[in-house]
Structures are given as structure tokens and as C-alpha cells.
Amino acid sequence: MTTLSIPIPTELEIFIQREIEQKRSPNKAAVVRRALHRLAEEEAVAAVLRSHNEPVLRGDLRKLIKKLSTK
């Protein structure tokens, strides 16, 4: 496991401390790990949603390449 040392703005330090005081996390590292896991999940969901908006290409691959290269 890697250790990171990063500056934290005051408002995030307050948030982290509140999470610990409210027993949502046992320590600062756990708060940050939980936040990073949540961010990773949100990014994965966003990628899936973006992929659903991509056009689906069907048909002869050579014709599709020709059509796309002339644009």
C-alpha cells in the first residue's frame, strides 16, 4: 500500500474530522479511501452512461470505414 502526503483545504479537513466524530470512519485515511472508492465508482458509471450515447455502427466494415473517412 502506498502512502500519500497531500495538502488538504480547511473545508475538507473539517469534513474529514466531522466524518470521524460522527463515527462514519475510524480515521482520516479511511475517510479519504472511502471518498476515492466512491469517485472511482462514479467515474465508472459515467463511462458506462457515455458509452450508451455513442452511435452503434452496423454493416460492412469496409463501407463504414470509407463513409467515416470521407467526412
Parse the chain into domains and list their residue ranges: 10-69
Q: What is the pTM of this model?
A: 0.69
| Residue of 41, 17, 42, 48 lying closest to 30 (CA atoms) | 17
Per residue in 41-67, pLDDT (tens digit) is 999 999 999 888 887 777 888 888 888
Residue 42 contacts residue 50 (beta carbons within 8 Å):
no
Per residue in 17-39, pLDDT (tens digit) is 999 999 999 999 999 999 999 99
